[in-house]
């Protein structure tokens, strides 16, 4: 483990630290104070209440780390030597509300004004290392509590109300170096909780930090131990990674260490061996570029739905998974070519299967799989020879996913051939212009048959049931093929279809 000075010191005005001048970043300290200034009166007041009852209280973890990074944390996490009952006793009459949903883990939540605060009793958990569930044990010192945390940058604290900065594991030095290191030896930390390996990848993407070499080595050595972690917890960490500003960093770390092989093996499987003439792309690298390009096309967080406000999980998953059907469909053709026929259909099935295994919800799974299935549809557009009927079907098949499909399709162009790239952009510009024109003329977003269910039943003299559904689908195909033709013409086509169907049944 690198030599990272530890320290604890105090001041009555702002957090301070007494370590060597070549390590301490004074700008970080000043920035932390500035970021915490709006909540320091509240935290000091709460700390004084705990002190009057004879208990310790400290701001800890993410809020402290973010303050030193110059970021505003949405969370206020505190830790104490008080038991859950004693926490409630200390905040009664001060907090606007409190709840004890996390009581078994020592956590009490409370609200004060616009702030939500979580206070947790010092922990000294013991792991049996055959499951991720620890035997919850309460500790009696802040230093002991900090030693059980995932990374040193998350193991810094500020005692309240004294504002003493506590850094017994060199977190500030690691933060200044933008480095992820564990308080304990990495192999011990990950043996206690394998999920921390995924958190390393997630923080690398979220914070832009480098993972210490010994941490990376431990991740590689212990990758298979991730199997004991529940699919839901893995999904949540993977989702946070994908929604980070730089998901490529974390994804690359997951693949290189072998962690991805445990829970999303389709991703490393994209690293197809190149043929000797390098006639096809590295699908893995291509997929990461598509993901980055899709992120660049997301709209602002407060933008309208049609802009696909970012970060958008459905679009990012679709970009990452859009080609996962290629390994299963790769064929080497005579003459040295390589084909991946129907990889979009195979990929949609693989996407659905993997997302179900990771316990994603049904709606998200369905949307991502549908985008994977549709991502090649545009390539039949060529130089714009699609009929209006084909354009209508493109819009109808995409449905509400159309804004995401636009972005996924545009992102899927990673060619270095400038002419080809420009040709694809121009073709898609043309398609979007045609969609806009037809949408203005025909309300494409809500394409329906020109006769509703009651009108169809009345025209054919039938009752609701499978036959009515069949007739409805027929009229929908008429609407897509011919555009608006009016109720009378639609009724005539329906009756002609019905007569032909009846004749077929008699024959």
Q: Which of 73, 65, 163 is nearest to 117 (CA)?
A: 73
Q: Which CATH class is domain 265-446?
A: mainly alpha
Q: Are 156 and 166 in contact (CB under 8 A)?
A: yes
Backbone phi, then psi, for 229, in 5-degree steps? -90, 140
Q: Which of 62, 90, 57 is nearest to 162 (CA)?
A: 57
Local confidence band at 414 (pLDDT 50, 70, 90 cut-offs)? confident
Local confidence band at 333 (pLDDT 50, 70, 90 cut-offs)? confident
Separation between Cα atoms, residue 236 and residue 174, nearest integer Å: 26
| Higher per-residue pLDDT: 462 or 258 | 258
Position 267 scores a pLDDT of 96
Residue 353 has pLDDT above 60, yes or no: yes
Q: Which of 210, 165, 214 is nearest to 188 (CA)?
A: 214
Q: Is 365 helix (H, G, I), strand (E, B) or coil?
A: helix
- Mean pLDDT for the stretch of residues 443-468: 84
Position 332 scores a pLDDT of 82
Position 2 scores a pLDDT of 43
Which residues have CB under 8 Å from 147's CB, separation 6+?
Answer: 155, 168, 169, 183, 184
Burial class (CB in 10 A: 0-12, 13-18, 19+), 440: exposed
For 179, how many CA atoms within 13 A lie in the half-sphere containing its CB? 19
Residue 350 has pLDDT above 60, yes or no: yes
Position 445 scores a pLDDT of 60
Burial 370-400 (b: 16+ CB within 10 A, else e): bbbbbbbbbeebeeeebebebbbbbbbebee
What are the start-end ranges of the H helices in 53-151? 62-68, 84-91, 142-147
Separation between Cα atoms, residue 275 and residue 336, nearest integer Å: 9
CATH 1.10.3210 residue ranges for the chain: 265-446
Instruction: Name the DSSP letter for residue 158.
Output: E
DSSP per-residue string spanning 311-346: S-HHHHHHHHHTTTTHHHH-EEPTTS-EE-TTHHHH
* Structure-block tokens of residue 488: 């009378």
Separation between Cα atoms, residue 195 and residue 1, nearest integer Å: 21
Position 439 scores a pLDDT of 81
Q: What is the pLDDT of residues 115-130, one digit of tens each?
A: 999 999 998 766 655 6
Q: How far is residue 327 from each of residues 52, 272, 283, measured CA to CA in Å?
A: 65, 7, 9
Separation between Cα atoms, residue 192 and residue 64, nearest integer Å: 24
CATH number for the domain running over 185-263: 1.10.110.30
Tokens 């500030």 belong to 172
Local confidence band at 23 (pLDDT 50, 70, 90 cut-offs)? very low
Q: What is the pLDDT of residues 180-220, one digit of tens each?
A: 999 999 999 999 899 999 999 999 999 999 999 999 999 99
CATH 3.30.460.10 residue ranges for the chain: 7-183
Position 273 scores a pLDDT of 54
- Mean pLDDT for the stretch of residues 386-404: 91
The average confidence (pLDDT) of the chain is 87
Compute the residue count for the chain: 507
Position 135 scores a pLDDT of 65
Rounded to a whole number of angstroms, the distance between the first and last alpha carbons of the chain is 84
Tokens 């030896």 belong to 185
Position 128 scores a pLDDT of 59
Position 446 scores a pLDDT of 64
* Structure-block tokens of residue 42: 């509240």
Q: What is the pLDDT of residues 290-314, one digit of tens each?
A: 999 999 999 999 999 999 999 999 9
Q: Could you give the angle at the alpha carbon of 20 between the alpha carbons of 17 and 25, nearest 5°? A: 60
Position 478 scores a pLDDT of 87
Q: What is the pLDDT of residues 243-290, one digit of tens each?
A: 999 999 999 999 999 999 999 999 999 997 554 444 445 899 999 999
**Considering the domain 7-183, what is its CATH architecture?**
2-Layer Sandwich (3.30)
Instruction: Name the DSSP letter for residue 273.
Output: P
- Mean pLDDT for the stretch of residues 24-47: 82
- Pairing mode of beta strands 179-180, 57-60: unpaired
């Amino acid at each position: 483990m690198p030599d990272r000075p530890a320290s604890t010191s105090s001041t009555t005005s702002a957090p301070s630290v007494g370590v060597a001048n070549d390590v301490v970043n004074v700008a970080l300290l000043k920035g932390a104070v500035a970021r915490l200034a709006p909540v320091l009166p509240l935290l000091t007041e709460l700390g004084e209440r705990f002190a009057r009852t004879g208990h310790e209280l400290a701001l800890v973890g993410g809020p402290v780390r973010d303050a030193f990074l110059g970021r505003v944390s949405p969370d206020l996490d505190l830790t104490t030597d008080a038991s859950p009952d004693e926490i409630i006793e200390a905040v009664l009459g001060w907090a606007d509300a409190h709840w004890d949903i996390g009581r078994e883990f020592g956590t009490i939540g409370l609200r004060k004004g616009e702030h939500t605060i979580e206070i947790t009793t010092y922990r000294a958990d013991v792991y049996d290392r055959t499951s991720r569930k620890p035997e919850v044990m309460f500790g009696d010192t802040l230093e002991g509590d900090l030693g059980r945390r995932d990374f040193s940058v998350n193991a810094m604290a500020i005692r309240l109300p004294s504002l003493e900065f506590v850094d017994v594991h060199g977190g500030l030095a690691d933060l200044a170096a933008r480095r992820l290191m564990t308080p304990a030896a990495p192999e011990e930390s990950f043996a206690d909780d394998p999920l921390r390996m995924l958190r390393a990848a997630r923080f690398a993407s979220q914070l832009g930090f480098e993972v210490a070499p010994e941490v990376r080595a431990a991740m590689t050595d212990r990758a298979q131990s991730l199997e004991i972690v529940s699919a839901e917890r893995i999904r949540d960490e993977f989702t946070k990674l994908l929604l980070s500003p730089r998901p490529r960093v974390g994804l690359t770390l997951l693949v290189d260490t072998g962690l991805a092989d445990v829970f999303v093996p389709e991703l490393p499987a994209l690293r197809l061996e190149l043929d000797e003439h390098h006639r096809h792309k590295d699908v893995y690298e291509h997929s990461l570029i598509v993901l980055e390009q899709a992120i660049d096309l997301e709209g602002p967080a407060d933008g309208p739905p049609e802009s696909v406000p970012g970060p958008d999980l459905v679009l990012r998953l679709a970009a990452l998974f859009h080609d996962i059907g290629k390994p299963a469909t790769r064929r080497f053709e005579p003459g040295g070519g390589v084909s991946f026929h129907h990889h979009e259909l195979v990929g949609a099935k693989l996407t659905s299967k993997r997302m179900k295994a990771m316990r994603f919800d049904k709606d998200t799974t369905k949307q991502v799989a549908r985008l994977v299935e549709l991502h090649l549809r545009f390539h039949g557009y060529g130089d714009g020879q699609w009929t209006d009927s084909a354009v209508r079907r493109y819009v109808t098949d995409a449905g509400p996913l159309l804004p995401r499909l636009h972005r996924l399709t545009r992102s899927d162009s990673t060619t270095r051939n400038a002419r080809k790239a420009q040709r694809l952009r121009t073709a898609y510009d043309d398609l979007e212009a045609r969609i806009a024109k037809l949408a203005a003329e025909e309300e494409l977003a809500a394409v329906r048959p020109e006769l509703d269910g009651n009108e169809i039943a009345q025209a054919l003299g039938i009752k609701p049931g499978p036959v009515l559904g069949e007739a409805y689908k027929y009229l929908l195909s008429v609407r897509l093929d011919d555009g608006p033709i009016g109720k009378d013409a639609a009724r005539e086509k329906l009756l002609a279809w019905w007569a032909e169907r009846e004749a077929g049944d008699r024959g």
